[in-house]
């Protein structure tokens, strides 16, 4: 496992796709490479997605009830003059009967800087943590860990640049720094806001059958305003809009992954254990507005969470998995300004003062033809401040075309 990023992939069409791995590439005879991911699902649950104590944003939500389209992707990648690798991912989803389109990633990456250096420019998922850089079709569960939903809106992205360095050591050791516009959740809505992140990843083999990786991550942004969505009172009353204003936000986290396979061959049997912990500290103001009325207060908050996850492939096409999530918020308010909206109404509308832990237990089983299609059944039991809900999901994913290798 000296190279933790594996180059190459088995394709569902007779074409060999290039897989970028820290500056090393297996070139594709078909350039560009194109792939499509179709995601259909059935969902059943009683309660809407709520995380009291957290300002939920980004893509953090439950799938629509009953049958729906999920996260459908169009991916295009190519090598340019043997000097650069470029990739773009366009996502199609359906929400409230409307088709939504989003450019998820588009970036240019160097291949020939040398000395272990790689430069990436464009819009991309940050490499902090372990789960964050994964596209949704590569998740082991249908939903993101709760800490990613509550803190990051499912993932953190950058519109800017990333520089990473693979150290010349016997074990795997990578350092990365990222900078860009902080105009996406958990940043604000102003394109002039800035966000920075850095990470260290360290790993090695324990034996021919097992390997491990540890990570340490940091993220920081300051923004003028971040909205957490509106809250309708019904009966024709105006919608209340909840936002954070003039806020400094800092996140740090650790992650760990362990992989085992008999004789190092993961084709028929593999065990993957992973865990992540993140903590976010914020200092700014919060605001709840209803037309001309509003509530405003100084805000200091700390939100923490972790998850533990185990995935076991017991046959070449069968996987099963268990996951436990835990998150909690500790938010404090001062310098209250009440103009038509008082603190009690702010609490009733937002539940932002909640310090009750939110817990979730998940189990899944999947059957797949690797890199072609997958059927997955998942059950969640979630405890939100003493309110329990059972959630059931059935997902079918079809992958067509050139499909690159995933990170370690």
Instruction: Evaluate if residue 383 carries a pLDDT over 60.
Output: yes
Identify the top-confidence range among 272-281, 336-345, 383-392.
272-281
pLDDT at 60: 84
For the chain, the residue count is 408
pLDDT at 2: 37
| Average predicted confidence (pLDDT) for the chain | 87
Q: What is the DSSP letter of 321?
A: E
Q: Which two tokens stand for residue 305?
A: 């969470």
pTM of the full structure = 0.87
In whole angstroms, what is the distance from residue 42 CA to residue 393 CA? Answer: 6
Least confident of 62-71, 189-198, 234-243, 334-343: 234-243
DSSP 139-159: -SSSS--HHHHHHHTT--EEE
In whole angstroms, what is the distance from residue 91 CA to residue 352 CA? Answer: 31
Domains and CATH numbers, the chain: 115-396 (2.40.160.10)
pLDDT at 17: 32
CB 108 within 8 A of CB 88: no
Question: What is the band of 169 on the pLDDT scale with cuts at 50, 70, 90?
Answer: very high
pLDDT at 11: 30
Q: Which two tokens stand for residue 216?
A: 């340490």
Instruction: Evaluate if residue 6 carries a pLDDT over 50.
Output: no
Question: What is the band of 235 on the pLDDT scale with cuts at 50, 70, 90?
Answer: very low
Question: What is the band of 237 on the pLDDT scale with cuts at 50, 70, 90?
Answer: low
CB 177 within 8 A of CB 216: no
Helix or strand or coil: residue 235? coil
Give the mean pLDDT of 254-267: 94
Question: What is the band of 57 on the pLDDT scale with cuts at 50, 70, 90?
Answer: confident
Give the mean pLDDT of 217-243: 73
Q: What are 83-125's pLDDT values in tens digits?
A: 999 999 999 987 777 888 889 999 999 999 999 999 999 999 9
Instruction: Evaluate if residue 231 carries a pLDDT over 50.
Output: no
């Amino acid at each position: 496992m000296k190279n933790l990023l594996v180059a190459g992939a088995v394709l569902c069409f007779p074409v060999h796709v290039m897989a970028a791995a820290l500056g090393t590439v297996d070139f594709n005879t078909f350039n560009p490479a194109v792939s499509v991911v179709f995601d259909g699902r059935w969902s059943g649950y009683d309660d809407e997605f709520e995380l009291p104590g957290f300002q939920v944003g980004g893509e953090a939500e439950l799938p629509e009830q009953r049958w729906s389209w999920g996260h459908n992707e169009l991916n295009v990648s190519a090598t340019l003059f043997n000097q650069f690798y470029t990739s773009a991912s366009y996502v199609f989803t359906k929400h409230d009967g409307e088709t939504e389109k989003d450019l998820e990633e588009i970036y240019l990456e160097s291949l020939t800087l040398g000395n272990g250096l790689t430069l990436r420019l464009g819009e991309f998922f940050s490499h902090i943590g372990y789960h964050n850089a994964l596209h949704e079709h590569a998740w082991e569960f249908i939903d993101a860990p709760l800490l990613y939903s509550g803190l990051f809106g499912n993932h953190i992205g950058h519109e800017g640049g990333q520089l990473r360095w693979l150290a010349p050591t016997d074990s795997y050791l990578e350092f990365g720094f990222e900078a860009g516009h902080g105009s996406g959740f958990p940043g604000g809505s102003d394109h002039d806001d800035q966000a920075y992140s850095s990470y260290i990843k360290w790993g090695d083999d324990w034996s021919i059958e097992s390997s491990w990786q540890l990570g340490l991550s940091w993220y920081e942004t300051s923004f003028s305003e971040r909205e957490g969505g509106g809250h309708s009172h019904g009966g024709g009353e105006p919608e209340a809009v909840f936002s954070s204003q003039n806020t400094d936000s800092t996140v740090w986290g650790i992650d760990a992954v362990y992989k085992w396979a008999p004789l190092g061959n993961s084709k028929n049997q593999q065990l993957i254990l992973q865990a992540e912990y993140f903590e976010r500290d914020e200092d700014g103001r919060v605001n709840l507005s209803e037309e001309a009325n509003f509530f405003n207060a100084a805000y200091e908050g700390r939100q923490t969470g972790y998850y533990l996850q185990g995935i076991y492939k017991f046959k070449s096409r069968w996987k099963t998995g268990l996951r436990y999530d835990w998150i909690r918020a500790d938010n404090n308010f001062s310098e209250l300004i009440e103009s038509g909206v008082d603190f009690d109404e702010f609490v009733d509308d937002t539940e932002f003062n909640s310090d009750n832990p939110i817990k979730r237990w998940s189990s899944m089983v999947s059957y797949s033809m690797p890199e072609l299609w997958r059927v997955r059944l998942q059950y969640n039991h979630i405890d939100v401040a003493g309110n329990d809900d059972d959630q059931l999901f059935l997902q079918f994913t079809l992958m067509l075309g050139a499909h690159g290798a995933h990170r370690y």
